[in-house]
């Protein structure tokens, strides 16, 4: 097989394969590339030594069986036997379910997670969105400090485990999306700088050195991350990728990295004959992120909409600290604006940022489904001091209201694992760094961060304590007990209503909202559906036209009466539905 590595500054490169050392030759066709053909079978251990230095893992390693800093292992992707033919499942009409492999089950493996896929199919979601699975130090962690972007975390099950999980998901009719990190690598085990200019000190990120996307050598760096993305989509039969924090991708080149990536994914989709898509996490509120490339956009298919989350969270909880302050002046009006306009900050002043932020979306031209709507995510739960979830802080009625707005609203819905039954287990920040100095730095940094917001050090969980991860594991027995089982039935009902009645692809302009700030009621109409919620303390009547047909109502709600903290979903009469684009 062909072994090759990019090491533009090296004077000599050697391949160490199963204990034998072989000199590599410069590739005359590729500047800075070294290559050698040698016999090797799947599982063979290897690495590269630069200028007689230590043996390093392959930057494009497909497997790290002994962890990020151990030798790489050969993987034969063609040897895997797939059991379920898969035509693909695109993002149109999708419902995503965000899942962390390490805490979805006590075992924390792909195999154990696959055993729960029947629950997700029965729930009615369309895609599982896996949090990052690239290798990181230790056994347990969130995955955003991975250091081998082409490989799969061995404690989860490695490459074969991921393939078996994806195959099982496809057998249940579920697509699979993978969260990938291109804006930084983790602080421990990152050997890429020893090979070439993968990083730059001209920019900085909150998580470490910035990836070199626009300086000397950046052609190869960009190809490295694009190649990693394409390899996961192709070799693991994934349906899409979620791109972490794309606002942290510093790139001054005329063709932005995301444009290059979306173009390459479109080409791969055509080659494979199945749909592929990209979802961005972006803090910029920039319409160009999801504008098609032919209209001079970056060409991504969707993006997370934190503005909707923040508006919904404030309306439900009354919290107003930090970035929630911008959404707290008139919570129902703010929520209404995010439902109709997508972005709340669309060139308007943000007190939290101390400046104007964002640009408006083109409501007639922008499909509402290009925005993901959610009440909880790993970020919005795990980045709280104690990892407390939203639902345990609400009564069942308000939780039902949140679910109705997310699942039958205009945006592509996304759930965070366990949300569907109102899981009471927290989801806390946990790490497993073997380096004691790094472990202590993470521990101290986490406590210092929240001390600035009034938290005592003892109240902030120790990320390195195994009990922190253990507390974050889902308790599946909750789903069968009251009141969790009742909430789970509500989620199933809402997803069935959405699947049956809501046509995908409608623009933002097809959404209308009526709200009453004082009474704390809101009705959103999109397509043929109207969702009415009463977040207040008085009985209310839903703002729906005569002839609207009730399809679902939370406990205590009736056809045309909404008790305090209740929700109902209606099918609009045909003449009314036509006003909303159906």
Distance (Å, rounded) from C-alpha 156 to C-alpha 511? Answer: 42
Q: H/E element holding 335?
A: helix 331-341
Distance (Å, rounded) from C-alpha 263 to C-alpha 293? Answer: 8
* 58 labelled ligand-binding: no
> Do residues 528 and 556 touch, judged by C-beta distance below 8 A?
no
CATH match for 2-56 among 3.40.50.720, 3.30.2350.10, 2.60.40.10, 3.20.20.105: 2.60.40.10
Tens digit of pLDDT at every position of the chain (582 positions): 999 999 999 999 999 999 999 999 999 887 899 999 999 999 999 999 999 999 999 999 999 999 999 999 999 999 999 999 999 999 999 999 999 999 999 999 999 999 999 999 999 999 999 999 999 999 999 999 999 999 999 999 999 999 999 999 999 999 999 999 999 999 889 999 999 999 999 998 888 789 999 999 999 999 999 999 999 999 999 999 999 999 999 999 999 999 999 999 999 999 999 999 999 999 999 999 999 999 999 999 999 999 999 999 999 999 999 999 999 999 999 999 999 999 999 999 999 999 999 999 999 999 999 999 999 999 999 999 999 999 999 999 999 999 999 999 999 999 999 999 999 999 999 999 999 999 998 999 898 888 877 788 888 999 999 999 999 999 999 999 999 999 999 999 999 999 999 999 999 999 999 999 999 999 999 999 999 999 999 999 999 999 999 999 997 776 678 999 999 999 999 887 776 665
* 182 labelled ligand-binding: no
Nearest to 513 by CA among 353, 365, 394, 339: 339
> Do residues 344 and 337 touch, judged by C-beta distance below 8 A?
yes
* 122 labelled ligand-binding: no
Choosing from 214, 244, 286, 576, the catalytic residue is 244
Distance (Å, rounded) from C-alpha 70 to C-alpha 91? Answer: 37
281 catalytic residue (yes or no): yes
> Domain residue spans in the chain?
2-56, 511-579
Distance of CA 168 to the CA centre of its chain: 20
> Do residues 7 and 48 touch, judged by C-beta distance below 8 A?
yes
* 242 labelled ligand-binding: yes
| The two domains 2-56 and 511-579 share their CATH topology (first three levels equal) | yes
Helix axes 257-272, 218-235, angle to 10 degrees: 30
Residues constituting the chain = 582
Distance of CA 254 to the CA centre of its chain: 27
Choosing from 281, 301, 341, 420, the catalytic residue is 281
* 388 labelled ligand-binding: no
**Span 511-579 CATH architecture:** Sandwich (2.60)
* 64 labelled ligand-binding: no
Query: What's the predicted TM-score (pTM) here?
Result: 0.97
Strand partners, 200: 210
Can you tell me whether residue 422 is helix, strand or coil?
A: coil
Distance (Å, rounded) from C-alpha 109 to C-alpha 451? Answer: 34
């Amino acid at each position: 097989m062909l072994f090759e590595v990019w090491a533009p500054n090296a004077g000599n490169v050697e391949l160490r394969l199963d204990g034998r050392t072989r000199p590599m030759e410069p590739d005359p066709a590729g500047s800075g590339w070294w290559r050698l053909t040698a016999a090797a079978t799947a599982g063979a251990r290897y690495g590269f030594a630069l200028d007689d230095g230590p043996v390093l893992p392959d930057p494009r390693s497909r497997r790290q069986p002994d962890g990020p800093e151990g030798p790489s292992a050969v993987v034969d992707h063609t040897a895997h036997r797939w059991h379920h033919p898969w035509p693909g499942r695109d993002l149109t009409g999708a419902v995503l379910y965000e899942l962390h492999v390490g805490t979805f089950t006590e075992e924390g493996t792909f195999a154990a997670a696959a055993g729960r896929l029947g629950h997700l199919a029965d729930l009615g979601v369309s895609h599982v969105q896996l949090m990052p699975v690239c290798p990181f130090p230790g056994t347990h962690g969130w995955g955003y400090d991975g250091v081998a972007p082409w490989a799969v975390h061995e404690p989860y099950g490695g490459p074969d485990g991921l393939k078996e999980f994806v195959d099982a998901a496809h057998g249940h009719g579920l697509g699979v999306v993978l969260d990938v990190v291109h804006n930084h690598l983790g602080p421990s085990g990152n050997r890429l700088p020893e090979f070439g200019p993968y990083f730059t000190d001209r920019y900085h990120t909150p998580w470490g050195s910035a990836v070199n996307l626009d300086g000397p050598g950046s052609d190869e760096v960009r190809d490295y991350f694009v190649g990693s993305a394409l390899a996961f989509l192709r070799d693991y039969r994934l349906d899409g990728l979620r791109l972490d924090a794309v606002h942290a991708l510093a790139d001054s080149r005329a063709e932005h990295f995301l444009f290059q990536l979306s173009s390459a994914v479109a080409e791969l989709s055509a080659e494979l004959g199945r749909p592929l898509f990209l979802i961005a996490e972006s803090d910029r509120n920039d319409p160009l992120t999801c504008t098609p490339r032919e209209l001079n956009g970056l060409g991504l298919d969707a993006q997370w909409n934190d503005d909707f989350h923040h508006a919904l969270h404030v309306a439900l909880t009354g919290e107003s600290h930090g970035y929630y302050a911008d959404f707290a002046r008139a919570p129902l009006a703010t929520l209404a604006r995010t439902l109709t306009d997508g972005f709340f900050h669309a060139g308007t002043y943000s007190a939290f940022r101390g400046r104007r932020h964002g640009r408006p979306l083109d409501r007639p031209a922008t499909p509402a489904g290009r925005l993901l709507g959610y009440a909880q995510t790993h970020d919005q739960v795990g980045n709280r001091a104690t990892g407390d979830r939203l639902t345990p802080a609400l009564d069942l009625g308000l939780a039902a209201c949140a679910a109705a707005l997310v699942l039958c609203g205009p945006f592509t819905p996304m759930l965070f694992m366990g949300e569907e039954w109102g899981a009471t287990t927290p989801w806390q920040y946990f790490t497993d760094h073997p380096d004691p100095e790094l472990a202590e730095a993470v521990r101290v940094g986490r406590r210092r961060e929240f001390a600035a917001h009034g938290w005592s050090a003892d109240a902030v969980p120790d990320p390195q304590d195994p009990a922190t991860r253990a507390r974050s594991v889902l308790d599946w027995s909750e789903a069968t007990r009251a009141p969790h089982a009742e909430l789970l039935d509500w989620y199933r009902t809402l997803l069935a209503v959405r699947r049956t009645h809501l046509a995908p692809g409608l623009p933002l302009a097809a959404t209308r909202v009526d709200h009453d700030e004082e009474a704390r009621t809101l009705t959103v109409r999109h397509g043929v559906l109207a969702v009415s919620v009463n977040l207040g303390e008085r009985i209310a009547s839903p703002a729906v036209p005569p002839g609207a047909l009730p399809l679902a109502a939370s406990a205590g709600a009736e056809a045309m009466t909404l008790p305090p903290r209740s929700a109902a979903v209606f099918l609009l009469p045909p003449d009314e539905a036509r006003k909303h684009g159906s």
